[in-house]
A = this chain, B = another copy of it.
Amino acid sequence: MSVLSTPSASLNWREQSGCLYHDLRVRLRNAGLRPTRQRVGLGWLLFARGDRHLTAEGLYEEASKARVPVSLATVYNTLHQFTEAGLLREVAVDGAKTYFDTNTTQHHHFFVEGENRLLDIEGQEIEVATLPAIPDDMEIVRVEVVVRLRRKEV
């Protein structure tokens, strides 16, 4: 499997040139985002390795290691721009930090307490059977399920 061809990373691409770097730039431009050095660098880190759950701080550290010159403020800005453009999804779990998920398809999450790790639950593996009535003037944006896990006592 090509590094940029995971389902969620490739789903809406308009072009597939075979050059992954070029494809990323096209993808950004299609999202209305100028493919600047830092956006391409961060996009590469985010989308080139399959589905990931990252915090801003985490991505910033990866960028440093990968010699992508970027400031923490720009990492925050970029993550929000990517989210707005539909390339990422913000995930709400316990804890102060915000996680960003490269898998934007319908799915849910495991959250490992203590380790603060997020794992995908694929769409079919969980199912919400019945939904309660909601007020007339409201509509459902999304249903989020978080299964909290803990490492068993030994």
Q: A residues within 8 Å of B by Cβ?
A: 90, 92-96, 110, 112-113, 121-122, 125-132, 134-135, 137-152
Contacts and interface: CB of A to CB of B under 8 A. Distances in A.
Nearest to A122: B132
Contacts of A110: 134
Number of copies of this chain in the oligomer? 2
A132 B126 contact: yes
A145 B142 CA distance: 10
Given A92-B92, A92-B93, A141 B148 contact: yes
A57 to B, nearest CB: 15
A5 to B, nearest CB: 25
B139 A152 contact: yes
A139 B149 contact: yes
A34 B68 CA distance: 54
25 contacts: A90-B94, A92-B92, A92-B94, A96-B96, A110-B134, A112-B138, A113-B141, A121-B132, A125-B131, A126-B130, A127-B128, A127-B129, A127-B130, A128-B128, A128-B129, A129-B129, A132-B147, A134-B147, A134-B149, A138-B149, A138-B152, A139-B149, A140-B149, A143-B146, A144-B147
Contacts of A146: 92, 143-144, 146
Contacts of A132: 121-122, 125-126, 147
